[in-house]
Amino acid sequence: MSQVRRHDRNEGTNSMASLLTRRRSLVGIGAGAVAAAVGAPRKARAEGRKLQLAYGVAVVDPSTAPWLSAAKTGGFWQEAGLDVQVTGFNGAGPALQLLASGQVDAVFTGTPDAMRMIEVGIPIRTVANAYDHNHNYPAVLADSPIQRIEDFRGKRMGLQTMTGSIYLWEKVLLQTHKMSFGDLATVIPVGTGATAVHALQSNQIDILGEWHGHYALLEIVFGLKLRKFDQDPALAEYSFVQAFFVRDELIQKEPDTVTGLLRGIAQGIRFAIENPQAAVRGHFEQFPNSRPTGVPLESAVEQSAKVIRLNVELSTKTTLARQWGAASPQQIDSVRDALIEAGILQKKLPWQDYYTPQFNAAMNGYDVDAVVRKAKAAG
């Protein structure tokens, strides 16, 4: 029998019910730091309206620069009068819990956990769909005999984490191929970076479940050769997968703040497309711990720029079309229905309960030429 921690309807419902009774608790890596940062009264200061943006992964690595640091590197948030502080957390749950309790202002994470919270009445909503397609998919070593997802039966899978979006989307992907985790020999957590590389190369696992940016890191920094199952039709169908969330209260009371946050991100993505090296340098300045140790700065910049160049493809199509952040009702409904079928959601809520399109035009209404000039002029 497969050795895997099982997440079923009851677990999801119980965890959400538990969340409702613990909305003021702080859980996860970095929670203490955020508590200290947000403990002071919220008021506008000379340097701008302070906003706390939580990321559902503990390490804010350079692959996230287009969405989490390039807006500050290019000065776009500052131009909007915002002082945005980004903090990483160990999973979507802790980050979203902080949003629900008002400890942070926005969250960048996967949609399944947020949709579960909305299902039980937590007043949060998607304000921007981050990626053009699903970024969670499995991979094997390039010389593996595994050629198709159907070949996963009886094999060993390692996931970055046994909770959150990666776990949930691997579950959905298997289900579309008439399988479940129970059809695999084992499913274990392997983390990311060196630990994931070791698990694959030491034959502890046959299949790795990660996301697009981390695969780029493994290929470029660690030299891993992979066969990626990133062209499966289910990945194209389920494209409402990673997003920015805020509380309904912020949408209602401070729409200009939300617009400034999102427009800055859209500008930052375009900045990173035009000059990934400058995006890396800015990211290292904002997150010094994300810079590789024992590597000369210029080498680290060039390596990480290659990672960004690959990862920003997740948002390039809509960014160039001036449609970044938009999600269609069909995109949202298809994800909702897949999550219901997988036992992750229980209610068939209307798409408007999950997402508002009211910021689409404003967040994309920036001077493209000015952003491109700024990116080209950056170091």
pLDDT above 90 coverage of the chain, percent:
75
Burial of 83 (0-12, 13-18, 19+ CB in 10 A): middle
Please check whether residue 188 is in contact with residue 159, taking contact to mean a CB–CB distance below 8 angstroms: yes
pLDDT digits (tens, 9 = 90+) for 151-183: 999 999 999 888 778 888 899 999 999 999 999
Which has the closest alpha carbon to 136: 31, 275, 239, 36? 239
Q: What is the pLDDT of residue 57?
A: 86
CB 179 within 8 A of CB 152: yes
pLDDT tens, residue by residue, 68-98: 999 999 999 999 999 999 999 988 889 999 9
Domain boundaries, the chain: 9-132+240-377, 136-237
CATH number of 9-132+240-377: 3.40.190.10
Place of tokens 């010389």: 143
Q: Which two tokens stand for residue 38?
A: 């947000």
pLDDT tens, 112-148? 999 999 999 999 999 999 999 899 999 999 999 999 9
With CA atoms as reference, report the closest residue to 78 among 37, 44, 47.
Answer: 47
- The confidence score (pLDDT) of residue 192 equals 81
- On the question of pLDDT at 15 being above 70, the answer is no
Q: Which of 10-14, 89-93, 314-318 has the highest mean pLDDT?
A: 314-318
N- to C-terminal Cα separation, the chain: 55
Q: Which residues pair with 210 in a beta bridge?
A: 137
The pair of structure tokens assigned to 159 is 């996931």
Choose between 323 and 191: higher pLDDT: 323
Distance CA 62, CA 297 (A): 13
Q: Which residue has the tokens 């400058």?
A: 278
Adjacent-strand bridge partners of 4:
none
Hey, do 9-132+240-377 and 136-237 end up sharing a CATH topology, with the first three levels equal?
Answer: yes
CB atoms under 10 Å from CB of 322, counted, come to 16
Q: Can you give 149-197 as a three-state secondary structure string?
A: HHHHCCCEEEECCCCHHHHHHHHHHHHHCCCCHHHCCEEEECCCCHHHH
Can you give the pLDDT at residue 161? Answer: 83
**Neighbouring C-beta atoms of residue 17, cutoff 10 Å:** 11
pLDDT at residue 16 tops 80: no
Say whether pLDDT at 4 is over 60.
no
pLDDT score recorded for residue 237: 85
CATH of domain 136-237: 3.40.190.10
φ and ψ at 242, to 5 degrees? Answer: -140, 135
DSSP annotation string for 106-128: EEEEEHHHHHHHHHTT--EEEEE
Query: 3-state DSSP call for residue 294?
Result: coil
Question: Has this prediction a pTM greater than 0.95?
Answer: no
Q: Show the tokens assigned to 248.
A: 């309904």
The strand pairing partners of 244, in sequence order, are 108, 128
